[in-house]
Amino acid sequence: MATTSELPVGQWDTLHENGPFPLQRQFITRHESKATMPGRVARYNNAADEIRRLIKECHDNNEGFRAYGSRWSMSKVLHQKDNMHQNNLMYLDLEVDPGDMHQDSPYLAENVFFFECGNTIKLISQRLAEYGKSLKTSGASNGQTIAGCISTGVHGAGLNIGAVQDYVVGLNIITGPQPGDIVYLERHTRPALNDAFAHQINARVIRNDTLFNAALVSLGSFGFIHGVVLEAEDLFLLNRYVKRVDKNVALSLSKTLDFKNSTFSIAKEVDPDGTPAIPWHYKVFVNPYVNDPDYVIEVMYKKPYTGAYPDPFTKIEKSIYKDLIYLLIKFSEKFPKSIPWFIKRLQSSILPEITKDEEEITATLYETFWDAPYKGPAFACSVGVDIADSEKALNALVTLTKSNPIPGIFAMRYVKKSDATLAFTQFDTTCVIEIDGIQWEKSRKMLSLEEYGRLMIQTLQTANIPFTVHWGKNMDWAFPNLVQDMYGSKAQTWKECRSWLLSQEMAQLFSNEFLATVGLDDFISVPPHFIQSLNIHGNPAT
Amino acid sequence: MHKTTSLKVVTLAITACIVASCYPTRFVSTHGAPMPAETVQGDDWYRDKMYGEYDTIVKTSAINDGMTIKVPRKFCESGKLFSVEYKNTFGGNLLYLFSFGTRRKVKIKYVCMLPDL
């Protein structure tokens, strides 16, 4: 039988030390051993039973229950004060055979994989590589679990790729303590697996685009995401370059992503007609405290996979001596005006190393976005805007930051629109403007992180720039009407879907302080036919 | 004046020696995944990893060609190593020095891989 350790921890913290937050009990469930229960499906179902048992126990105690993976979120989005389940020891994967595919599926069976919630991007990438496959994109590192990624909308910077949730094609969720509380969700317009597959994991099938899109970025509150079905693609390589370019060119590209007609090009990365190739990835780094005529940019070009490329690991990692940073930040708390000077001095250590055209780093997605180990208490504030507004938004935020210096630098990344109802990547192409850095203490001369976040929101509102905020990052989440202003009627749809999927008691159990703070915890009475399982033509499934 | 300067130089040299001798060297696998910690602790590379420590004194002699340490089962369910960190300590250096190379203090910190499921 799957077993669960219960730790009376008292408090809980994120990987990046954004807490601590109060917590009564932490659960960790482990599978029955392979030696005594060889069948993977049997062990998976056994773990589902164990999670149902925990849900019942918490419900009987009138307590809450939330799952989390690797603690990478910096906001309180996943935190719950009563019971939290660490699911990173639940990392089975189930075989998907061609016979498991739905008859109307648009996906190739060879690209469809089923992973349990606690599989990290790293584990999944390694598993896919065994089949000559790769994830389509990841965040800038690999430690997040798949369930954690999709719950908060983790994204990369692949221009024509969405965020992590955008290649998820099926969700297995445990919504309550009863045997019938296991569901398997898909889009009805793009089914992936057949009913027989869902039945072997004891799940009730619901194919409905509206419900599926709402459950994709669920903020951990649609139940316990037990399994995720994703679409992979053939393994590929990325050629990575880091360049200094004229800031006007970088910002023009930011607004249009029109690389074909840009003066920016890399000698080796041109199309047969001689025009610049369109990169797979584009990222702009901005130190708000200098007025350099150039910005540092990172571009990557996608190439077919071949085994013959140099070992990239010797070149990929770049770090900074943490204690020196701490010392400087402590100094900065007393003398905030010194921050620009420090950031300028440290720029060469913080930013990636500039490469020459002939010195590109070639690596797979897994190798390129490899481990980003813990390097001290960190913060990150991240907003999404339409790319057309990217320059205006960046200028407004840089002006804000120059007036209120904090120890961080900006970066801009670009992500295709997501179908997920509450994905923060909701513009046709979202420019994600993020400021990352080291935590500091509020002082008489220096704003708190929350106050800085509030000013970010006010600055964008004053500039009349529509924006969203990354769910897993720091912000003044209690800012009035924030979610309503960002998502409008989509927030209502999301709440209705959640209220349809969960009973009122379970909606309460899977809720948390964050959800209440942003006004997404309401339970709305919806009729039973609000969501129906549909066939590909949009008719009720028989 | 001369005495004070000499003292400063000696203090600085000892401090430099202590700092340098405590610097860890870590060998990390580029594949596999580390066993996660049950609760995050500390503020270093090991914060999110379950790790074990092995602290011993190795005796060397002319007929001994080294030492093999089997990975303890504690903190290492898979028996497969993800990382090994070797740390030279100042005390270890002194022991080596004063035992004329016959005793060496070894401090190893290891992280194991997640077991296959």
- Write out pLDDT tens, residues A481-529: 999 999 999 999 999 999 999 999 999 999 999 999 999 999 999 999 9
3-state helix, strand, coil in chain A (%, to 5): 30, 25, 45
CATH architecture under which domain A3-234 falls: 2-Layer Sandwich (3.30)
Cβ contacts of A89 on chain B, cutoff 8 Å: 36
Answer whether A37 touches B (CB < 8 Å).
no
pLDDT over 70, % of chain A = 96
Greatest CA separation found in chain B?
69
Angle between helices A449-462 and A390-403 (to 10 degrees): 140
Residue among B39, B43, B117 whose CB faces A7 most closely? B39
Q: Does domain A236-479 have CATH number 2.40.37.10?
A: no
Please give the distance of CA A269 from its chain centroid, rounded to a whole number.
29
In what side-by-side order are the strands of the sheet with B81-87? B24-28, B81-87, B103-112, B51-59
Cβ contacts of A40 on chain B, cutoff 8 Å: 117
The whole-angstrom separation of Cα A528 and Cα A533 is: 11
Which helix (H) or strand (E) element contains residue A240?
A: strand A236-246
pLDDT over 90, % of chain A = 83
Count CB neighbours of B97 within 10 A: 10
**What's the pLDDT tens digit per position in B69-92?**
888 888 899 999 999 998 877 788
Q: Phi, psi (5° rounding) for residue A505?
A: -65, -40
Instruction: Over range A222-233, report the average pLDDT.
Output: 98
Q: Do A70 and B48 count as a contact with CB atoms less than 8 A apart?
A: yes
Specify the pLDDT at position A329.
66
Residues A477, A507: contact at Cβ < 8 Å? no
The mean predicted confidence, pLDDT, of chain A is 93
The whole-angstrom separation of Cα A182 and Cα A202 is: 7
Cβ-based contacts under 8 A for chains A and B: 49
**What's the pLDDT tens digit per position in A362-418?**
999 999 998 877 778 889 999 999 999 999 999 999 999 999 999 899 999 999 999
Answer whether A17 touches B (CB < 8 Å).
yes
Between the alpha carbon of residue A520 and those of residues A426, A491, A524, A531, A534, the distances in Å are 18, 7, 11, 19, 27
Specify the pLDDT at position A319.
41
The whole-angstrom separation of Cα A494 and Cα A192 is: 23
Answer whether B61 touches A (CB < 8 Å).
no
Which helix (H) or strand (E) element contains residue A482?
A: helix A482-487
- For CA atoms A464, A465, A470, A474, the dihedral sign is negative
Q: Phi, psi (5° rounding) for residue A163?
A: -90, 180
Q: What are the DSSP calls for A112-155, one per residue?
A: EEEEETT-BHHHHHHHHHTTTEE-S---SSS-SBHHHHHHHT--
Instruction: Over range A121-143, report the average pLDDT.
Output: 95
Cβ contacts of A70 on chain B, cutoff 8 Å: 36, 48
Where does the pLDDT of residue A277 fall: very low under 50, low under 70, confident under 90, or very high at 90 and above? very high
Specify the pLDDT at position A320.
46
Where does the pLDDT of residue A351 fall: very low under 50, low under 70, confident under 90, or very high at 90 and above? confident
Residue among B40, B47, B114 whose CB faces A91 most closely? B114
Nearest alpha-carbon partner for A174 in A13, A84, A21, A56: A56
Question: Which parts of chain B sit beneath pLDDT 70?
Answer: 1-6, 8-22, 62, 64-65
Answer whether B23 touches A (CB < 8 Å).
no
Between the alpha carbon of residue A375 and those of residues B42, B48, B83, the distances in Å are 11, 11, 17
Res A250 pLDDT > 50: yes
Res A322 pLDDT > 60: no
Nearest alpha-carbon partner for A305 in A369, A233, A355, A357: A233
Q: pTM (2 decimals)?
A: 0.93
Residues A144, A70: contact at Cβ < 8 Å? yes
Q: Which residue has the higher pLDDT, A329 or B72?
A: B72
The full set of domain ranges for chain A reads 3-234, 236-479, 486-530
Q: Do A123 and B114 count as a contact with CB atoms less than 8 A apart?
A: yes
Q: Do A91 and B117 count as a contact with CB atoms less than 8 A apart?
A: yes
DSSP B52: E
